[in-house]
Structure 1
Amino acid sequence: MKNLLLALISGVLLAICWPTYGIPFFIFFAWVPLLMAEHNITKFSDIKKKSLAVFGFSYLTFLIWNFVTTGWLYNSQLPDGSKSLLAVLFPVLTNSFFMALVFLAYHFYKKSQGTYFGLVFFVAIWMCFEKLHLVWEFTWPWLNLGNVFADYHQFIQWYDTLGATGGSFWILVCNVLVFYTIRIWEAGRQKKSLIKNISLSVAFIGLPMIISLVRYYNYSPETVGSINVTMLQPALDPYNEKYQKDSLTIESDLLKLAAENSVLQSDKKSKIDLYLSPETSLPGPGSISERGFNNSLLINNIKTFLTQHPKSVFSGGISSYYVYREDEEKPSTASYLDSQGIWVDEYNSAIQIIPNQQPEIYHKAMLVPGVEIFPYINFFKPILGNVMLDLGGTTRSLGISTERKVFANPYNKSVIAPIICYESIYGEFVTGYVKKGANLLTIVTNDSWWGYSQGHKQLLVYAKLRAIETRREIARAANSGTSAHINSRGDIVDELPYGAKGVLTAKVNLIDKETFYTKSGDFLSRLCLFVIGALLLFIPGRKYLSRKK
C-alpha cells in the first residue's frame, strides 16, 4: 500500500504541473515518490515478481499523468457526431505503456549495476525516449518534460542555448538529486551530508531560473526590420462548417475579413504586408490540385485581392493534392485511385500567393499519428484495419515535404517559416526553417477539434518555447483561436480569444541572428544516446574485470 501511494503521488504531481492549469515547480520532485517506490520494491519488498510490480506501479503513475493532461482528446468527434473514445484511449494507454517500459529498463539496470549507475541510466534513457518521441511515426512529444514551463517562460530563457530537451535534462537531474538526498539521509542520518546535498539540489534547481530571469529582463533583440501582419480567424466549426460549407463562400468571408483590416489597427496609416490564414483554410470540402494552381478560381481570387492591396502577400493553409504522371516516380505515400486509374498524393499544405508569380507550396512534414498518418502502416494495418480518425476529410496517410521550406517576401526583408499546427511542438525541427533563412515564424493551425479545452491552450503556449529557442517572433493564425503575436522572449503580446471571429493585426520584428540551440539542436539527447551505449558496454566490461581480478 505504501508503494501504491507513492506511485499515486507521482502521478498526481506530474499531472498538476502541466500547462496551462498547473504549477510547474512541483516537477522538480514529482518523480521522487516513484523512484522511492521502485527502490522499496527492489531492496526491501518480499514480492516475488518485483519487475512486474515496478511495471504496474509505474504504469499507474503514467496513466494518471497522461489521462489528466491529454484527456481533452476525447472531444474529437466521429463522422456521426459522437465522441471518439479511441482518440483518447489509444494515446493515453499506449504512451503510458511506453513510459512504463522505459522505467522498467531503468529498474533492470539499477538492479544489475547499483543505484549510482542506475540513476545515470535513468536520466539518459528517459532523454533518449523523449528524443524517440520526436522522430518516430508514433511521435507524441506532448508530455516531454521540457514543455512543462511553457506557461512560465520567464524561467526558461536559457532554452535558446539548450532547448526544451535541455529542460528535460535539468528536470531529470533535479529529481535524481532530490531522490539521492533522501536516500543518503535514510542510510546514514548525517546532517552535514544532508545540508550539502540539499544545497546542491537547491542550487541546481534555482540557478538556471535566476539566470533566466536576469536574461528575460535584460533581453533586447537585434532586429533587421519589421512587417505588419493580419492574422485571420474565421471561426468555422471544424465538424459542421469548415469541410461542408461552399468553398467560394469560405474564401469570400476570409477575404472580407482581410479587406476590412488592410491597415494596422494600432496605426491606421500602416498598410498590411502579410495576410495569414489558418491551417486548411481553403478550399473547404475537397482540395486544390497543385497542377492546376494557375487555373484555380480560389487562388486567382486571392491574386485579384492582392492587386487591390499592392505589395501585400497572402500566406496560409490549404488542402492540396498532386496527380502523378505515368513516368513520374511515386513516393510511398501515394495512393492509387482504381476508379480513375491515377496515382495521387494528398497534403496538408502551406502556400504563399503573390500576383504574377507561381504560388509557393510547402507540405506539412510532422503528421499527427492516427489522423494524418497511419504509423508503420505495412505492419499494423493488416492487424488493426482502418482505424484512422477522419478529421478533415481523409483517412489515408498524407504526403510530406522531406525538407523545411521558407517563403521570402519580394517587397521587404521578411522570410517566413510556414509552420503547420502540430509541427510547432518540435524544437529541433523548427530550427530547420531558421537554418533556411527564416527571420519570422508563422504558425497556421486548426486546433478547434477539441473545443474549448486544454488542447488548444497547450498548443498555444508550446509555441512560446519555439520563440525562445530560435529567438524569433511568431505570428499565429488559428481557425477558431487562439490567434496570437508572440515576441522573441516568449511573451504573448496580443491574442484573439478562442471562438471569436475576426482578425489580429500586429507589427512583428524580423530577427536573423541564430541561437546556439538553432546551430546545435538536441545535442544533449544525442549525448545521452552515447551514454546509454557506454553504460550497456560497461556491464560485460565490469564482469570481465571482475573475473580477471
Structure 2
Amino acid sequence: MSMKQTTATESSLPAAPRPAAAPRPAAVPRPAAAPASSANLAIAGRSFLLLRVAAALLSGLFLGLAYPPARLDLLAWLALLPLLLVPQPRRWGERLAIGYLFGYVYFAWSLFWLNQVGFGAGFLLAIWCALFPMAWYVFLSALMWHCKSATDKERQLPGAGLLLLRQPALVALLAVLSACAWVSCEWLRGWLLTGIPWNELGISQYRRIGVIQLAEYTGVHGLSFLIVLINGVLAGEGAYVIRHWLGAAEKRGMPWHVVMAMALTLPLCWLGTRPEALPDADTPSLRVLAVQGNLPQCRYWTEEQCRDAQLVYGDETRKGVANSATPPDMVLWPECAVPASLDYPPYRYARQRLLEDINLPLLVGATQFRENPLDKENPLLFNSAFLLTPTDVIAEYYDKVHRVPFGEFTPFGDQLPWLRDLIGMGRDLTPGLAYHVFQLPRGAKAGVNICFEDVFPYLSREFTRRGANMLMTITNDSWYNESSGAEQHLSHVVFRAIENRRPLLRSGNNSHSCLITPNGRVLGQLVDEQTGAIFARGAQLYDVPVSDDWGTTFFTRHGPLFARLCVLVTLACWLWLLKAWHARKRRQYQAIKGIAPEAAPAP
C-alpha cells in the first residue's frame, strides 16, 4: 500500500473525539437583531430626536394658544397629540430635555404678558413652571417603555409610543394614567413653595359653560384630567390610523379607550344642560356699585398720583350713585384704588368727604401699617380689605392670607437681603391669619379674595365653609397694562364660583369688573360706553342675589379629593415601574453571573 493510499484511508476514518471545552458563563440575553443596520438605526435615532423636538415645540405652542389672548381653547383637546404620537425616548437625559422644552414653550408663551412687570418675569417664571410638564413627560416615557418591553421584544424603533401598542385596553389604561400624572403635577405646582396654580390646563375652557360644570365635583383638576384623557384617546386612534395606512394595522376588537372616553363625557353633556339654580323671585339682592378707575400702576407713587386717584374714584363714585335708578346698598372699590395706606392723611380726608356725600358703606382694598408687638420701631404692613361705615370707621377688615411671591414678599428675603433690594420691594407684607367673612347689607355674607388669592381654590372654599353666601374679588391688574393678564386672571375666578355655587362679584382696577353667576356665566362686564373697550373707567351697579339656600357642593365639602386620588394613583404607578425596573436589573445581573433564576437569593 502506498503512502498516498494510506493517507486517504486514514482520512476516511472518523475523527477522534475532542475533550469537552470548559463551560462558559451565560451571556447577557440580547434582543433579536433588527432588520436595519446599526448605521440606519443611528440615522433613525437622529431623525426621531428632531421629531421629538418638533413635537415638544408644537404641543407647547398649542397649549399656549389655548389661553387668552389667542383663546383657541379647543386646541387644548388636541395639543398633546404630537408628544403622544412621536415615540418617546429611552435615555433619561433626552426625556428630561424634551419634556422641559415642551413645558417651557407652554408657559413662556402663555405667561408672556407677565413681562410687562419687568425683569423678564414671564420668562423667569416659566423656568420654574416648566419643571412640572417635564415631570409628566418623564413619567409618560417611562410608562411607554415599560409597555414596549412587554409587547415589542424586537425593539425595532429607537423609541416607544402608541404606534407600537396594539391593545385598545392598554391604550385606555395609558390614557388614564397619563391624565392622573398630569393632574398630580398640576396639584404639586399649586402648593409647592407657596404654589403657582396659574393656567392649569382646565382653566383654558372657562368659556365652555357646559363642560366646566364638572368643577362642582372635582375642581378644575377634573377638567384637566378630561383634556389629557381625550388627547390620549385621540392619539390611540391616530396611531391605529397610521398603522393601517402603513399596512401594519391588525384586526382589533372593541376599542375600549373610545368606549371609556364616551362613558366619561356623556354624563358631562347632561351636566351642562341642567338649568342654572337661581333663587326665588322674592329673594333679596345686594345692590353694589363697583367703581373702576383704570389708572396706571406705579411701584413708587407720588403725591400727584395719589391725588389723581382720589379725584378719579371720588368723581366716578359720585356720578355712579347719582345716575343709579335705585340707590345702591354699598360701594365697592378694587385693591389699591388709591396708591396710599388707608391712614394716609390726605387720602383719609378725601375719603371722609366722599362718604359724607354718598352716605353709603364702602368696601375697599388698601394697605395699612399696624404696631408690631415684637418691634415697636418697625410696624407691620398688611394688604387688606376694609369695610368702612358712612362715617369712615373701620367696621370689619380681612388681611390677605396668601401673598404673592416676589410681589408682596421675597422668599428667603431675610437670608438673602440683596435679593429683596434687587427686586425693589423694600419690605415684606405681613400675612393674615383669619378667614374673615364680611357681614354686608341685606343679609349678604361675603368672602373677599384679594387679587392673587382667587387663583387658589382653598380660600374661596374656606370662606364658603364659614358661611359666605357670596364671594368677591378685589384686584389690581394694572401692573400688566392692557395685556391678556387681566383676562387670564378672570378665567380662574369663574371656577371659584362653580366650585362653591356662589355668585361672585369681581372689582378690577383697570378692567374685567363683572358679576359671575354660580353657573360660571360672566355678566355685566364694565366696558366703555362709547367704544366698548374692556380697559375703561366708570361705575356700574350690580344686583347680587342674597340667599342662604345655595347649598353645599361636593367640592366645598371634600375639597380637591379628586386631585389627591390622582396623586395616589400616580405614586402607585411609579412604585410599579420602579419594581419592574428592579426586577429587570436583577435578571440582567443573574445572567451576567450565570445564576439560574430559581436559584437567585431572595431580595
Matched-pair contact (CA < 8 Å) for 2:413–2:420: no
Asked if 1:404 corresponds to 2:453, the answer is no
Q: Which residue of 2 aligns with 1:273?
A: 329
1:118–1:190 distance in 2 versus 1, CA, 3 Å: closer
Would you say 1:321 and 2:381 are equivalent positions? no
Q: Distance in 2 between matches of 1:156 and 1:424?
A: 17
1:345 corresponds to 2:391? no
Q: 1:167 aligns with which of 211, 223, 240?
A: 223
1:416 maps to which of 441, 446, 451: 446
Spell out the pairing of 1:8-407 with structure 2 (5 A cutoff).
8-37=57-86, 39-42=87-90, 50-76=91-117, 84-108=118-142, 110-111=144-145, 121-137=177-193, 139-183=195-239, 186=243, 189-190=249-250, 192-193=252-253, 195-202=255-262, 204=264, 206-215=265-274, 218-222=275-279, 224-239=283-298, 244-245=303-304, 247=306, 250-262=309-321, 265=324, 268=325, 270-282=326-338, 284-285=339-340, 287-288=341-342, 298-299=347-348, 302=351, 305-306=354-355, 308-310=357-359, 312-326=360-374, 342-355=377-390, 358-377=394-413, 381=416, 385-386=419-420, 389-390=423-424, 394-407=425-438
Change (3 A) 1:64 1:275: same
Aligned to 2:153: none
**Which segments of 5 or more consecutive residues in structure 1 lack a partner in the other structure?**
43-49, 77-83, 327-335
> Distance between the aligned counterparts of 1:126 and 1:531, measured in 2?
11
- 2:478 pairs with 1:430: no
Q: Choose 1 or 2 for highest CA Rg.
A: 2
Residue aligned with 1:141, SS = coil
- 8 Å contact from structure 1 (residues 156, 212) kept in 2: no
Contact 2:469 2:547 in 1 (8 A): yes
Say which of 531, 546, 557 aligns to 1:510.
546
Instruction: Note if contact 2:178-2:229 (Cα within 8 Å) is conserved in structure 1.
Output: no
Give distance in 2, aligned partners of 1:263 and 1:518: 39
Q: CA shift at 1:540, angstroms?
A: 6.5
3-state DSSP of counterpart to 2:431: coil
User: What SS does the aligned partner of 1:53 have?
Assistant: helix
The one-letter code of the counterpart of 1:8 is L
SS at match of 2:515: strand
- Tell me if structure 1 keeps the 8 A contact 2:104–2:130: yes
C-alpha deviations, 1:395-417, integer Å up to 9, x for none? 433211133221102x4211112
CA contact under 8 A between 1:486 and 1:493: conserved in structure 2? yes
| 1:280 alignment partner, SS class | coil
- 1:320 aligned counterpart, secondary structure: strand
Query: Which one is further off, 17-26 or 103-112?
Result: 103-112
TM superposition shift of 1:368: 2.2
Q: CA RMSD in A?
A: 3.2
Q: Secondary structure at the match of 1:137?
A: helix
Note the C-alpha offset of 1:248.
Answer: 5.4
Q: Is the 8 A contact 1:264 1:505 kept in 2?
A: no
Question: Does the 8 Å CA contact 2:104/2:127 hold for their aligned counterparts?
Answer: yes
Contact 2:342–2:348 (CA under 8 A) maintained in structure 1: no
- C-alpha distance in 2 between matches for 1:427 and 1:126: 18
* Residue of structure 1 in register with 2:521 after alignment: 491
Q: Offset of 1:161 from its aligned partner?
A: 2.0
**Counterpart code for 2:297:** P
Secondary structure of residue in 2 paired with 1:324: coil
Deviation of 1:142 after TM superposition, in Å, equals: 1.6
- Distance of aligned partners of 1:526 and 1:260 in 2 relative to their CA distance in 1, 3 Å threshold: same
Paired residue for 1:479, among 497, 500, 509?
A: 509
CA distance in 2, matches of 1:417, 1:15: 32
Q: Give the alignment's TM-score, normalised by structure 2.
A: 0.75
Amino acid at match of 1:165: H
Compute the displacement of 1:306 (Å).
Answer: 4.0
SS at match of 2:403: coil
Q: Which amino acid aligns with 2:521?
A: D
**Number of residues of Structure 1 aligned to a counterpart in Structure 2:** 501
Deviation at 1:91, TM superposition (A): 0.6
- Equivalence for 2:152: none
Aligned to 1:453: 483
As a proportion of its length, which structure holds more strand?
1
Superposed CA offset, 1:90-109 (max 9, x none): 11222223432442244345
User: 2:103–2:132: 8 Å Cα contact kept in structure 1?
Assistant: no
Deviation at 1:40, TM superposition (A): 3.9
Aligned partners of 2:177, 2:263: CA distance in 1, in Å? Answer: 23
Question: Quick one: distance in 2 between partners of 1:386 and 1:240?
Answer: 14
In the TM superposition, residue 182 of structure 1 has moved relative to its aligned partner by: 4.3
Letter in 2 for 1:438: A
Structure 1 contact 472–510 (Cα < 8 Å) conserved: no
Residue 3 (1) aligns with residue 52 (2): yes
Query: Could you tell me which amino acid in structure 2 is paired with residue 404 of structure 1?
Result: Y
Percent of aligned positions that are identical = 21
CA 1:526 to 1:354, structure 2 compared with 1: closer, same or farther past 3 Å? Answer: same
TM-score, normalised by the number of residues in structure 1: 0.81
Residues in 1 aligned to 2:300 and 2:513: alpha-carbon distance in whole angstroms: 19
SS in 2 for 1:94: helix
CA contact (8 A) 1:303 1:354 kept: no
Q: Does structure 2 conserve the Cα–Cα contact (< 8 Å) formed by 1:372 and 1:395?
A: no
In terms of mean alpha carbon deviation, does 505-514 or 188-197 score higher?
188-197
- Structure 1 residue 313: deviation in Å? 2.1
User: What SS does the corresponding residue of 2:213 show, helix, strand or coil?
Assistant: coil
Supply the distance in 2 between the matched residues of 1:539 and 1:103 (Cα, whole angstroms). 15
Q: Please tell me whether the aligned partners of residues 473 and 485 of structure 1 are also in contact (alpha carbons under 8 angstroms).
A: yes
Q: Which residue of 1 aligns with 2:165?
A: none
| Contact 2:490/2:512, CA 8 A, preserved across alignment | yes
